[in-house]
Structure 1
Amino acid sequence: MRLLRFALLIVWVFVAARVAAQDSIRTDKYPNDCLNEEYSKSLVLKETQKYFEEIDQLIESSKKCDQGYLLYTEVSLKYLELGDNTYNREQRGDSRDKSYYFEKGLEWARKSIQADSTYDIGYEMISTSYAAIVSVSGLRKQSHLADSVRIYAEKALHYGPENDRAIHILGRWHYEVSKLSWFTKFMAGLLFGNKPDGDINKAIDYFKMSVDLDDFPVHRYWLGKAYLEAGKKDKAIKEFEYLQTLPYAQKNDEYFKEEARKLIKKYS
């Protein structure tokens, strides 16, 4: 059981990181006034955490505007937020409820690429949804779906080369898989037919790319973590210290700053 648990360290939740990277909202984020106006209406509901009303608002709004499918990924994100409690220490949810919301997130993400097969954020949200689903699934389902996280993140990057969130996901994939021992990788290949092959240097490269595109605490934090894993303590501490100077712009910024401070204290 312990071996299987370590073999499945390729499973982790990207939802909170994805939510954090989306939390700084612009009302001019869409290509036409109709979409921006309708999306702005949902922000009023967002402030009061009325998720179901916000979802209904977004779905109705998508029917009113050209390129309404662009709002499907917002619907997907709302469902993932409903299922996620990673950074909320007071909230609890059972796996069945989380699984339902994560599956709904995947459903709406898929709708977006059915409407536009080149929509990078649609692929990004599919990747994120798979990561969420895997996190609450049994071993067999985990083994079948885990690599989908990487595959769809790569598709997102193919269509959106500057998608910092997709780049971050790939960094996380390489970070987690690189930590597995050779024996664990061997057993993963034997049991699941897929031997994971992560590279910590690739993880560092991906996190650097995400920082260059959007210098958010979530990106800096994981770059520092990757440096630690690579044995580059001085570089890691430098990233954690710089992270403290970044302005608060997104949900969970304080969480990453707090965790970075703990690591500075531990490794200084």
Structure 2
Amino acid sequence: MKQILLVFLLTCTSALFAQDNTVLFKEAENLERSFKEPEALDKYKQILANDAVNIKALVKATELSCSIGGRQENKNDKRLSFESALAFAQRALKVDANSAEANYAVAMASGKMTEVETENKKIVAYVKDTKAFADKAIALNPNFGKAYFVLGRWHYEMVNLSGIKKAAVKLFYGGLPEASLDNAILNMEKCKILEPYYMINYYFLNKAYKDNDKPAKQIEVLTKMVKLPNRTYDDAAMKEDAQKQLQQLQ
């Protein structure tokens, strides 16, 4: 009888958490639409308190931690946000190493860690992980637009490495990795097809076309970009920058 009662209580508790998480997901999504990212992140953390292996919540927590960290002016705060992002992503990967979303999350967070890491060996390890996990995410799901963006940005960043980072990558990577603006553009164009409202992809695609001396393509990207709806906190600022560049080019 006690065992039956215990099973009943566990079933009820599980059902209650599932119901709570459904509500929390809706609340988190509404907060994101209102550009309240820290509050949305807190909701995803609440979901994870109920369900520690929820991959969707772990990936969303990764994305928001990266986004919030990107706006932090204090270096320590920025690093903490990116480290949190990587921790969420690694948890998702432990839940399912063959989840395209989890691999994408690790790739994205690893890319962010290259911005704050100071130890050369670790920088190169993050550089390798960014590409390796983005490649795997795409292999697992060839229609994963955001993974193409991460890979495209990886190519863009490798082409634009600073002198110090270039020397470190060359030393610890065993030579500079094969990267090009053409591959950056190819992957970001793929993302544009699969994720037509993903503003940051347009932002870096414009940069790649600028570096590749393709002003007509820049105008095409920027014209599309300024017409996109704002879907994240950072979109308005990126659109404002796009509008200024468009006026200079035309």
TM-score range for the pair, normalised by the shorter chain length: 0.7 to 0.9
Paired residue for 2:208? 226
Equivalent position amino acid for 1:222 in 2: F
Matched length: 228
Matched, 1:57 2:46: yes
Q: Secondary structure at the match of 1:176?
A: helix
Paired residue for 1:123? 103
Structure 2 length as normaliser, TM-score? 0.76
* Separation in structure 2 between the aligned mates of residue 45 and residue 227 of structure 1, nearest angstrom: 34
Structure 1 length as normaliser, TM-score? 0.72
- Work out which of the two has the higher radius of gyration on C-alpha atoms and give 1 or 2: 2
2:227 to 219, 242, 245: 245
How far is 1:192 from its partner? 5.2
Range moving further from structure 2, 41-50 or 218-227: 41-50
Give the gaps of 5 or more residues in structure 2: 1-17
Q: Residues 82-97 of structure 1: matches in 2 within 5 Å?
A: 82-85=68-71, 92-95=73-76, 97=77
* 8 Å contact kept, 1:79–1:105: yes
Q: Residues 1-268 of structure 1: matches in 2 within 5 Å?
A: 36-43=22-29, 49-50=38-39, 53-62=42-51, 68-85=54-71, 92-95=73-76, 97-140=77-120, 141-179=122-160, 188-190=169-171, 193-216=174-197, 217-268=199-250
How far is 1:206 from its partner? 0.9
Identity between Structure 1 and Structure 2 (%): 22
Of Structure 1 and Structure 2, the greater helix share is in 2
Aligned CA distance change for structure 1 residues 223 and 100 (closer, same or farther; 3 Å): closer
Aligned CA distance change for structure 1 residues 249 and 231 (closer, same or farther; 3 Å): same
Aligned CA distance change for structure 1 residues 77 and 240 (closer, same or farther; 3 Å): closer
How far is 1:139 from its partner? 3.8
Equivalent position amino acid for 1:236 in 2: Q
How far is 1:81 from its partner? 4.2
* 8 Å contact kept, 2:107–2:131: yes
* Separation in structure 2 between the aligned mates of residue 51 and residue 180 of structure 1, nearest angstrom: 33
* Separation in structure 2 between the aligned mates of residue 94 and residue 185 of structure 1, nearest angstrom: 22
Paired residue for 1:10? none
Q: Secondary structure at the match of 1:84?
A: helix
Q: Secondary structure at the match of 1:50?
A: helix
Q: Deviations over 1:92-132 (max 9, x none)?
A: 3232x332332222222112122222211111111121122
Q: Between the two structures, name the one with larger relative contact order (CA 8 Å, sep ≥ 6).
A: 1
